[in-house]
Structure 1
Amino acid sequence: MYLLKELIQIVEVPPQAFSPQIHDYIFEKLKREMSTSLSARYGFIVAIQKVLSISEGIIRAGTGVAVFTVKFNAIIFHPFVGEVVDGTVDRVTKLGLYVSVGPCIVFIGKGLFPPDFTFQPDEYPQCYTHEDGSKLQSGSLVRLRIFNTTHLHGEIHCTGTMKEPYLGLLQDEGRLVETDEIETSF
């Protein structure tokens, strides 16, 4: 899920930034541009750890802008298909749950969590309740398995399931739930 990855990026430096501290300027510009960005190939770049190397700059004719190739280590969030993760329920709808797992949203359709939960549209906030009294609601901590990922509009979207052993509700209104408390039927 979280990886340390070596990446390469082109950084442009305007002439007014040329100074003995140009490497500091490049590092700060790299952090501004790349931190919290989404790479379709690697995932969500959480942070730039350190710069490994900076090439000699090449000045573009007519503009005076110097172009540098920067090699750096970045901490990347990349959800993998089949990975089991913990997340917090953000939203509950009659179609299912939206769960935050790091910087991505995982949708779990109502057919993909234990059938013992029933939707309660009249309760505020809306939730799914179990016959033992536990609730799947906003703020609940859950464990799920990711089975699909997509990158759309600068965000990572995933689809998950809680319909497997040892997955499901972990925390209900501050109370930890034992995984064997909620029986799952398949």
Structure 2
Amino acid sequence: MSFRYRGQLVDTLESEELCVCSPDRFIVASNLVFPGKSSYRLEKKMFIKVKLPWNVIIPAEAMDPNGHMIQTAVLTRLLDAFASKKATKDVGYFIALKSLEEIGEGRIRETTGEIVFPVVFSGITFKMFKGEIVRGVVHKVHKSGVFLRCGPCENVYLSHYKMPGYDYVGQGNPLFVNENMSRIQIGSTVRFVVLDIQWKEAEKEFIALASLEGINLGPF
């Protein structure tokens, strides 16, 4: 089944998918605040610039009979859908939608009457990679190690076995300290190397292992 809506061919469509194409790693510097998410202020991190094809669903009753508001309706629905996504294994955490690149031909779902528009947009995602050096902020301290928050990822584990020269001090506010009185405690910003990273499908979350074994690593 198909029809033309203000000069635009509208066909049936019974499925929707999110897929990924053309990721390109690059560096974004400065303090960034990302709309639609919790605010993260990052000094310099590795991000991924992506172009994503997506299907945007518009209820038939929301369509402007004259077709003037198609782009606005599509963009509004796309922003809502993007904000509700957390992360995927391939591209990491969804951070910011930059621009709507293309709106394809609309198709109608026979079962619901909804109109589905395939779109392509550019955006920014965040993902750590094994072997890269990044920064994180300590938010939990245990005798066995600490947990750091790196951007939207809150599960970066730094074991005490990977903190050469640091000893645990449990009195008062627990912390790790070395002979130079350098401290790793809640609120400390730490430069570390990513040892490994794992994707947890059920939680839509990454877990990373960190190490301070290397040059210029540690709190600062």
| Aligned twin of 1:33 | 81
Stretches of structure 1 lacking an aligned partner (at least 5 in a row): 171-186
Q: Determine which of 55, 79, 103 is the counterpart of 1:10.
A: 55
**Aligned-CA RMSD value:** 1.3
| Aligned twin of 1:43 | 92
Stretches of structure 2 lacking an aligned partner (at least 5 in a row): 1-45
Q: Whole-Å Cα distance in 2 between the matches of residues 71 and 158 of structure 1?
A: 31
Deviation at 1:123, TM superposition (A): 2.2
Q: Are 2:109 and 1:109 aligned?
A: no
2:199–2:207 Cα contact (<8 Å) kept: yes
Q: Whole-Å Cα distance in 2 between the matches of residues 85 and 62 of structure 1?
A: 49
| Aligned twin of 2:216 | 166
Q: TM-score if structure 1 supplies the norm length?
A: 0.85
1:31–1:47 Cα contact (<8 Å) kept: no
Q: Whole-Å Cα distance in 2 between the matches of residues 62 and 136 of structure 1?
A: 58
Q: Whole-Å Cα distance in 2 between the matches of residues 25 and 143 of structure 1?
A: 43
- Partner SS, residue 123 of structure 1: coil
| Aligned twin of 1:23 | 71
| Aligned twin of 1:70 | 119
Q: Whole-Å Cα distance in 2 between the matches of residues 27 and 151 of structure 1?
A: 30
- Partner SS, residue 79 of structure 2: helix
- Partner SS, residue 6 of structure 1: strand
**Which structure 1 residue ranges, 4+ long, deviate > 6 Å from structure 2?**
none
2:48–2:91 Cα contact (<8 Å) kept: no
**Percent identity of the aligned residues?**
27
Deviation at 1:169, TM superposition (A): 1.3
| Aligned twin of 1:128 | 176
1:71-117, CA deviations, whole angstroms, 9 ceiling, x for partnerless residues? 00011101111110011111111111111111113111110112x21
1:53–1:72 Cα contact (<8 Å) kept: yes
Q: Whole-Å Cα distance in 1 between the matches of residues 53 and 182 of structure 2?
A: 48
Q: TM-score if structure 2 supplies the norm length?
A: 0.73
Q: Are 2:139 and 1:90 aligned?
A: yes
Number of corresponding residues: 168
| Aligned twin of 2:167 | 118
Letter in 2 for 1:137: Q
Q: Whole-Å Cα distance in 2 between the matches of residues 29 and 39 of structure 1?
A: 20
Letter in 1 for 2:148: V
2:93–2:125 Cα contact (<8 Å) kept: yes
| Aligned twin of 2:28 | none
